[in-house]
Amino acid sequence: MPRKKKIKNNKPNLKFKGPKRPPMRFSRLRGMKDVLFEDYKYWDLVIKKATEMAKIYGFNRIETPILEYLELYERSTGKATDIVSKEMYSFVDKNGKKIALRPEATPGLVRTYIEHGMFNLPQPVKMFWLGPIFRHEKPQAGRYRQSYQFDLEIFGEENPAADFLIILIAYNFFSELQINVQVQINSIGCAECRGEYLSKLIEFYKERGKRSKLCNDCKKRLAKNPLRLLDCQEKNCVELREDAPQIVDSLCDECREHFIKVLEYLDEIDIPYSLNPYLVRGLDYYSRTVFEIWPVDEEKEVAVGNLALGGGGRYDGLVEYMGGHPTPACGFGLGIERIILKIKEKNIPLKKDSKNIIFVAQLGDQARRKILVLFEELRKSGINVRQAFTKDSLKSQLEEANRLGAKYCLILGQKELIDETILLRDMESGIQEVIGLKKVKFEIEKRLNNGN
């Protein structure tokens, strides 16, 4: 007897055909964040504002690779800084070269300025940069191992008006995002006057009994990077520094003059700032003006928290030190995630992108085919149109239209298909009217132009 042929189930087998291993779930690396759908509205807002500010003040966008030679950061950011000595992601590549993931933007931008001969362009050269940085720090809310910065840099301008402009932009950027901030500012002088100051500072800490009270990090800093003793947050170190000499008292005439000018400009347009004699910044390249942007407790109007929203300053010696022509420069970096945290914390209302949304909905496959075409026609003629082609039920399509804040919904069902009409539903009132399919665009534009 002939055997009955087995009827094959012709459903495709979509199972993953890898080597047989137990399933495994991966999580993201510690300190790294995924930016999910809901968060993107904040990112869009901040990035749009950053781009707008950069454009208004005449900065041109620039991009640099995430990977650079490790030595670039060792020379510019500084070998003794926390960023380079403790936090860098670095590796040896296949050619044996020491490579680092960018821990900050400024060194790469300085390299770009030199490498592309931007010294020959009309000065100043104003750069706008936005991108990720990587620091192997101890993660906490607002401190990540991959984070994003909005950076502005001005190359080839010595005038204190440039320092002022950078601070003004940072301040306006936060004001327009409705985040109250305080600018903390200091001057750390030039190589010459700072040299004299450092001798005084070392002398002060070497006085009997002081050194032993310093934290272990500061004991090392005393030899390698004494300026950083001033911004240590350990209790004993904070107490000790209160009697330490202040750098502003040691500034040479040119540096003092420069600093006074920056402050006068800030006074001129009432930008609130606080002089912070302990602000030295954790990077080696700064000279003269240094500043940080701190969130403010609205009632007490004092800086709060332990995380700055941004920081920057002048770095007049860096371009030359990195092999370029002597070029004064200044800039800032603002932390996008920290800004977004503030916006969320303060519940700052975001403008909804629901302006005049027209949603198209279908009932049945025939209607879907027609609606695909209609959608494209409306989109091409500039109407702000949305869809849910994959959905079958009208209820779930209308829910989607509501979620998007649609003004009107166009509904195409079997009956309308035959009649060559379509339903136009006002999403606020729920009133529906029948309009001719050929006149859809005209009818919608008429209603939108009438402000209905």
Can you give the binding site for ligand HAM, defined by CB under 6 A? 104-106, 135, 137, 142-144, 147, 149, 151, 153, 308-313, 331-335, 337-338
CB 101, min distance to ligand HAM, A: 12
Q: CB nearer to ligand HAM: give 135 or 258.
A: 135
Residue 396 near residue 404 (C-beta atoms within 8 A): no
Whichever of 313 and 413 has its CB closer to ligand HAM, that residue is 313
284-302 burial, b at 16+ Cβ within 10 Å, e below that, comes to bbbbbbbbbbbbbeeeeee
Tell me which residue has tokens 């966008």: 61
Token digits for 408?
């009107």
Q: Least distance to ligand HAM from the beta carbon of 332, Å?
A: 5
266 close to 176: Cβ distance less than 8 angstroms: no
Counting Cα atoms < 13 Å in the Cβ hemisphere of 88 gives: 27
Which residue number, 148 or 359, has a Cβ lying nearer to ligand HAM?
148
Looking at residue 434, its amino acid is V
Beta carbon nearer to ligand HAM, 340 or 378? 340
Q: Give the shortest CB-73-to-ligand HAM separation in angstroms.
A: 11
* β 273-275/181-187 pair status: parallel
Q: What are residue 268's phi and psi, to 5 degrees?
A: -55, -40
Smallest distance from ligand HAM to CB 84, Å: 12
Report the C-alpha gap between 77 and 74 in whole angstroms: 6
* CB-nearer residue toward ligand HAM: 147 or 182: 147
CB of 237: closest distance to ligand HAM in angstroms?
A: 20
Q: Which is closer to ligand HAM, CB of 131 or CB of 277?
A: 131
Nearest to 335 by CA among 297, 381, 295: 295
CB count, 10 Å around CB of 164? 21
User: Which one, 158 or 445, has the nearer CB to ligand HAM?
Assistant: 158
Alpha helix locations (H) across 9-96?
37-56, 70-73, 82-86
Which position has the token pair 């075409």? 373
Q: How far is the CB of 315 from ligand HAM (least distance, A)?
A: 6
Residues 194 and 247: beta-carbon distance below 8 Å? yes
Instruction: Kindly state the tokens that stand for 76.
Output: 């510019």
Least gap, CB of 443 to ligand HAM (angstroms): 50
Least distance between ligand HAM and beta carbon 153 (Å): 5
The residue of the chain with the least Cβ separation from ligand HAM equals: 335
Nearer to ligand HAM, 226 or 331 (CB): 331
Cα dist. 294→22, 85, 110, 163, 269 in Å? 49, 26, 26, 18, 19
